[in-house]
Amino acid sequence: MSFPLCTMLPISILCKKPYTCLYSPSLSYAPQWTCLGNSHLSDYHLSPLQMTPGELALASGNHTPVTQFILLGFSSYPDLQELLFVTFLLVYVITVTGNLGMMALIFTDSHLHSPMYFFLSVLSFLDICYSSVVTPKLLANFLASDKTISFEGCVVQLTFFVVHVTAESFLLASMAYDRFVAICQPLRYGLVMTKETCLQLVAASYALGGANSAIQTGNVFALPFCGPNQVTHYFCDIPPLLRLACANTATAGVVLYIFSALVTLLPAAVILTSYSLVLVAIGRMRSAAGREKALSTCASHFLAIAIFYGTVVFTYVQPHGSTNDTNGQIVSVFYTIIIPMLNPFIYSFRNKEVKGALKRKLQVSIFPC
């Protein structure tokens, strides 16, 4: 295959043998690499699909510093932008209203002043926070022709997103431990789950979130970005940003994998251990009413955990680049937008105490006398 000489760029470092590699960017969707030497050209033909946009830019000699990113998001569906805007706006309103309502109900009803509901109120706060880091910008991009975000804005968005998602991961582990103590060691529950202990667990969750965010954000933005700035996502997430880096991202991918695994699998281990012991304790209960109450409380928490960890593991705890952009966006919608909306309903649907508190508030509001 031959190309006009003016479109060929000699890149010698990409060949395993001492031949010259020629890159042709003139083909819109199929740039070609060819190594010239004594052997047949097809022996050294490399597929551009194996190269990220950042690698292509580096190979072509484009070293223009990136000052802003373009969030492509759902721009491949131009006819659905208004419908998507209305849909995600409705979801976001339900998310904020539902979680604020849950927080207000817990803080104003004395029957819900217990460690379990304290953790639930913090969970509602976290859901509002990390959903708000992502959704407002997404809504604005549905209606705007300019879908850019500044480099600094991208750093801030990723920083706060990782903080809150990591904190939620460890908070879910704290909630599982709380259920373990309540069911397996009921006589010691008041001594173990004190106010100070609960505050320390929440503070530790945020501290670990901050540490993971500093590592992950620094890991990404320590890389050079030169030229490509189209993020194939609706927010600044780590995997699509790594694809734009003009450097070898193998080490960064390993860091992402290791720390994502740590902040996901360590809390998951605590959760699985706690609930395994809880199930054993429930099986030994003689009271059918006690078993039903314990199972209803744990079932809602376990459902929320399964959805959250399943989507996070699919997105982050896998080899870098092993999932495509479309699947990544769909899965991300679940844990950034859908799960924060569902959590208040999951935790209150079969919870008699929450429904009782809500009923009392409604009665006072409608019939104050």
Question: Both 76 and 46 in a single domain?
Answer: no
Residue 12 has pLDDT above 70, yes or no: no
Give a yes or no: residue 64 inside a domain: no
Mean pLDDT of 302-328: 68
Shared-domain flag, residues 97 and 43 = no
Residue 10: per-residue pLDDT: 38
Specify the higher pLDDT residue, 229 or 171. 171
Domain count along the chain: 2
The closest of 318, 141, 142 to 238, measured between CA atoms, is: 318
Q: Assign 178 a pLDDT band (cuts: 50, 70, 90).
A: very high
Under the banding of pLDDT at 50, 70 and 90, the label for residue 57 is low
Q: Are 199 and 81 in the same domain?
A: yes
Enclosing domain of residue 248:
70-366
Tell me, yes or no, whether 61 lies in a domain.
no
For the chain, give the percent of residues with pLDDT over 70.
76
Q: Do both 357 and 234 map to the same domain?
A: yes
Task: Inform me whether the pLDDT recorded for 224 exceeds 80.
Answer: yes
pLDDT in tens, 20-56: 343 333 333 333 343 433 333 333 344 544 566 666 6
Together in a domain, 260 and 330: yes
Residue type, 249: T
Pair (162, 31) in one structural domain: no
The dihedral built from the CA positions of residue 162, 166, 171 and 176, taken in this order, carries a sign that is positive
Using alpha carbons only, give the angle 303, 308, 309 rounded to the nearest 5 degrees: 100
Residue 25 shares a structural domain with residue 154: no
